[in-house]
């Protein structure tokens, strides 16, 4: 389903649409694990130091004292190492339904991506025997480039901004007639990504039922619900999909972004009341370098669906990444940990949890969006 009038299309994004997507893609994706970590619960529930608050609006004030129980949805264990497989399979399966397998196979499909959607569409196309053209920034992580090529897709390089990527896509389409499968600003992609929230909710309920002590709601485990879910925001497909899924439930959905070089376009756009149209950032969270899509903006800017968006610094992302690597023993990419970094370091968010969670605190689902990095890249983050 193409984005024609985003406001109209957004109304069709419902929890039922996410359920329907899950039924269709389930044979093609992994049910990724949900993990907990007592150490990170304790660290997140410890007030920040006065030094940490220096230079912030909260300098000189008593630090927040929130209580967290964190539940990590590990999409780094998804096929191709990221949640993007969900949206890519759903979009391609719907495209075949709509246009017929012969036409889609004749024309092929095309997209642009820094790596995770690239690999996801390449995998989906290979699985369903469809030719794929993938436009990737030349500065993409080498492992993501090789991963995309390994599924048989034709990779064409471009500049790093979304504008540069889209220009190359248009050129290839004019030559081949390939059908665009957008990386994030697409109804079917969003529905596919929203299945992350569907799985997370079910796994959380089972966890708490079997071990009530994992939850702040241990006194009523049969009725326990997540207080919040926080996901990274780049183009916004994951966050919009998850917000869509939870839109008829009490669970609040938040977004997290890198602040480096204006990477927090969604947060800034919400503050200004209008979408930021372009982003130029070389944040280490390379999967989050794109502006929020038009359709995703319709969802995320709806206060009945999105509770808020926060941003974190490069150093805070690195600190969160180190904790996940060293304490959880889980390999993730920098983009994956921005939600955890918000829980650890954003004093505004932490005060919300302290105020509204009270003595009990909040159960928070954090989506680890992917794990496509390299030993060399991780080494550079922590060298010097």
User: Rounded CA gap, 36 and 51, in Å?
Assistant: 29
What confidence score (pLDDT) does residue 31 get? 98
Q: Model confidence at 374, in pLDDT bands (50, 70, 90)?
A: confident
Reference 293, options 229, 230, 241; nearest CA is 241
pLDDT digits over 64-117, tens only?
Answer: 999 999 999 999 999 999 999 999 999 999 999 999 999 999 999 999 887 788
Reference 299, options 225, 372, 236; nearest CA is 236
Q: What percent of the chain has pLDDT above 90?
A: 83
Write the CB contacts of 380 (distance below 8 Å, at least 6 apart in sequence): none
User: Who has greater pLDDT, 222 or 168?
Assistant: 168
> Mean pLDDT over all residues of the chain?
94
Q: CA 105, 111, 114 angle in degrees (round to 5)?
A: 140
Q: Name the active-site residue from 45, 73, 113, 114.
A: 114
Q: Catalytic: 215?
A: no
User: Rounded CA gap, 89 and 72, in Å?
Assistant: 23
CATH number of the 8-81+186-381 domain: 3.40.50.1100
Region of poorest pLDDT, from 219-233, 261-275, 297-311, 324-338: 219-233
pLDDT digits over 260-275, tens only?
Answer: 999 999 999 999 999 9
Taking residues 341-369, what's their average pLDDT? 97
Reference 271, options 293, 247, 298, 301; nearest CA is 301
What confidence score (pLDDT) does residue 2 get? 47
Query: Would the pTM count as exceeding 0.85?
Result: yes
pLDDT digits over 283-303, tens only?
Answer: 999 889 989 999 999 999 999
pLDDT digits over 210-226, tens only?
Answer: 999 999 999 888 888 99
For CATH 3.40.50.1100, list the domain ranges present in the chain: 8-81+186-381, 84-180
User: Who has greater pLDDT, 146 or 203?
Assistant: 203
Give yes or no for residue 9 having a pLDDT over 60. yes
User: Rounded CA gap, 315 and 363, in Å?
Assistant: 25
What confidence score (pLDDT) does residue 384 get? 66
CATH number of the 84-180 domain: 3.40.50.1100
pLDDT digits over 27-57, tens only?
Answer: 999 999 999 999 999 999 999 999 999 988 8
What confidence score (pLDDT) does residue 324 get? 98
Write the CB contacts of 214 (distance below 8 Å, at least 6 apart in sequence): 36, 69, 71, 207, 208
Q: What are the helix and strand counts (H, E) for the chain?
A: 17, 10
Q: Catalytic: 84?
A: yes
pLDDT digits over 181-192, tens only?
Answer: 998 889 999 999
Q: Name the active-site residue from 84, 140, 143, 247.
A: 84
User: Rounded CA gap, 186 and 340, in Å?
Assistant: 27
């Amino acid at each position: 389903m193409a984005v024609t009038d985003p406001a109209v299309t957004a109304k069709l994004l419902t929890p039922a649409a996410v359920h329907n997507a899950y039924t269709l893609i389930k044979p093609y994706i992994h049910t990724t694990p949900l993990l907990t970590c007592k150490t990170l619960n304790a660290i997140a529930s410890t007030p920040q130091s006065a030094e940490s608050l220096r230079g912030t609006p909260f300098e000189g004030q008593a630090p927040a004292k929130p209580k967290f129980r964190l539940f990590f949805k590990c999409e780094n264990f998804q096929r191709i190492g990221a949640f993007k497989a969900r949206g890519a399979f759903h979009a391609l399966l719907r495209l075949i339904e709509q246009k017929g397998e012969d036409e889609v196979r004749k024309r092929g499909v095309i997209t642009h991506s820094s790596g995770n959607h690239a690999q996801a569409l390449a995998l989906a196309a290979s699985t369903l025997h469809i030719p794929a053209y993938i436009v990737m920034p030349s500065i993409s992580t080498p492992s993501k480039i090789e991963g995309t090529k390994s599924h048989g897709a034709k990779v064409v390089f471009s500049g790093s901004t979304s504008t540069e990527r889209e220009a190359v896509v248009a050129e290839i389409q004019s030559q081949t007639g390939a059908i665009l499968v957008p990386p994030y600003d697409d109804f079917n992609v969003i529905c596919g990504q929203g299945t992350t929230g569907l799985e997370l909710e079910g796994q959380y309920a089972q966890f708490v039922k079997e071990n009530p002590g994992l939850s702040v709601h241990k006194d009523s485990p049969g009725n326990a619900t997540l207080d919040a879910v926080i996901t990274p925001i780049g183009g916004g497909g994951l966050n919009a999909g998850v917000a869509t899924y939870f839109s008829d439930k009490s669970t609040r959905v938040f977004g997290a972004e890198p602040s480096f070089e204006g990477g927090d376009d969604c947060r800034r756009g919400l503050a200004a009341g209008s979408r930021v149209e372009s982003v130029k950032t070389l944040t280490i969270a390379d999967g989050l370098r794109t502006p929020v899509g038009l359709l995703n903006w319709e969802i995320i800017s709806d206060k009945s669906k999105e509770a808020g968006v926060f941003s974190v610094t490069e150093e805070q992302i690195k600190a969160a990444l180190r904790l996940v690597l060293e304490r959880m023993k889980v390999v993730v990419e920098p983009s994956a940990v921005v939600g955890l970094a918000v829980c650890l370091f954003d004093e505004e968010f932490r005060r919300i949890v302290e105020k509204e969670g009270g003595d009990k605190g909040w159960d928070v689902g954090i989506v680890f969006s992917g794990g496509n990095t390299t030993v060399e890249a991780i080494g550079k983050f922590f060298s010097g």
